[in-house]
């Protein structure tokens, strides 16, 4: 069964109610072997698309992952991108901004890490944190040194949404295609995974007490995500709300989204001129005559 990733896509102007969006869906594979086979097939297709992306040198791909803690961002990136040439893919994880980054506008620190044409860029969290965690914890805005008039009231979020849409439109016009993925996990499944981290000796190091504190703001985060996704999903830079309670299903869905985005570019290897083809034919003849 193929995953219908278009059902996860949010159209421009859609209202978003996460309670009405599933955190789990029908498993598209019959066994672990079937899952690994399908993920392997996706990896081969993705490797081919990456070669085309690099060779055509006219586009870049930016994939943005956002989610609550323990939703599986790291695992999805690791498994889905396993078949990609590391030279053609850059992964950036954005944590708390540095003192230098706080002196700039909220888009500055991620802009420095955008993928160049011919490459794939992965953002594990992104500039969207500035309309998510900063909205749930508005005291963060005070630390950003903004003029007081700019951070009073709700207008700051609408302004940031406009900035994001304009920024992404600019990237699209200059060849960067964007796929934004929200891994939608239930509070119950997150609790189970956090407990498993504590109980597993090899995963305890990943547990952060901050995850528990943020769980207390679950409803506030869901509201922030709803407004953010609805305000910034567009035809050229869509959001996908991917059910994430089952990690394997989520990974297959993510790989399908990335593949469909790349395959929609209709890329091709550069055509060579007649003179270059004749030159290559001469080189080939010389190599064939040369001693081994």
Average of per-residue pLDDT across 88-100: 89
232, 255, 284, 286, 290 from 278: Cα distances, Å: 50, 40, 10, 13, 19
The SS3 assignment for 242 reads strand
Backbone angles phi, psi at 208, to 5 degrees: -125, 130
* Distance, CA of 244 to CA of 72 (rounded, Å): 7
Model pLDDT for residues 155-196, shown as the tens digit of each residue: 899 999 999 999 999 999 999 999 999 999 999 999 999 999
63, 83, 101, 133, 262 from 143: Cα distances, Å: 28, 41, 11, 13, 39
Domains in the chain: boundaries: 5-289
Model pLDDT for residues 124-162, shown as the tens digit of each residue: 999 999 999 999 998 888 888 787 656 667 889 999 999
Supply the CATH classification number for the domain 5-289.
3.40.50.300
| 106 pLDDT above the threshold of 70 | yes
* Distance, CA of 86 to CA of 128 (rounded, Å): 25
Average of per-residue pLDDT across 189-206: 89
Asked whether 65 and 255 are in contact (CB, 8 A), the reply is no
Asked whether 155 and 44 are in contact (CB, 8 A), the reply is no
* Distance, CA of 215 to CA of 71 (rounded, Å): 13
| 247 pLDDT above the threshold of 80 | yes
């Amino acid at each position: 069964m193929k995953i219908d990733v278009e059902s996860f896509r949010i159209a421009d102007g859609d209202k978003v109610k996460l309670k009405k969006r599933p955190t789990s869906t029908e498993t598209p594979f019959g066994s672990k072997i079937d899952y690994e086979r399908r993920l392997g097939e996706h990896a081969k297709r993705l490797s081919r698309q990456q070669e085309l992306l690099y060779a055509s040198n006219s586009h870049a791909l930016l994939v943005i992952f956002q989610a609550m803690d323990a939703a599986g961002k790291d695992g999805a990136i690791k498994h889905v991108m396993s078949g990609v040439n590391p030279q053609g893919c850059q992964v950036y994880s954005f944590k708390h901004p540095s003192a230098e980054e706080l002196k700039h506008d909220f888009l500055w620190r991620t802009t420095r890490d955008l993928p160049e044409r011919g490459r794939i860029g992965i953002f594990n969290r992104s500039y969207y944190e500035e309309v998510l965690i900063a909205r749930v914890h508005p005291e963060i805005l005070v630390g950003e040194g903004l003029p007081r008039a700019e951070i009073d009231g709700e207008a700051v979020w609408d302004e940031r949404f406009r900035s994001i849409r304009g920024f992404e439109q600019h990237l699209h016009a200059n060849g960067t295609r964007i796929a934004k993925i929200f891994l939608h996990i239930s509070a119950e499944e997150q609790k189970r995974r956090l407990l498993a981290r504590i109980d597993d000796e090899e995963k305890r190091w990943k547990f952060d007490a901050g995850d528990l504190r943020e769980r207390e703001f679950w409803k506030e985060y869901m509201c922030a995500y709803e407004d953010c996704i609805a305000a910034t999903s567009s035809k050229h830079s869509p959001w996908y709300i991917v059910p994430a309670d089952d990690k394997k299903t989520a990974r297959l869905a993510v790989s399908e989204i990335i593949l469909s985005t790349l395959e929609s570019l209709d890329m091709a290897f550069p055509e060579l001129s007649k003179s270059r083809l004749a030159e290559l034919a001469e080189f080939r003849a010389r190599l064939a005559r040369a001693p081994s």
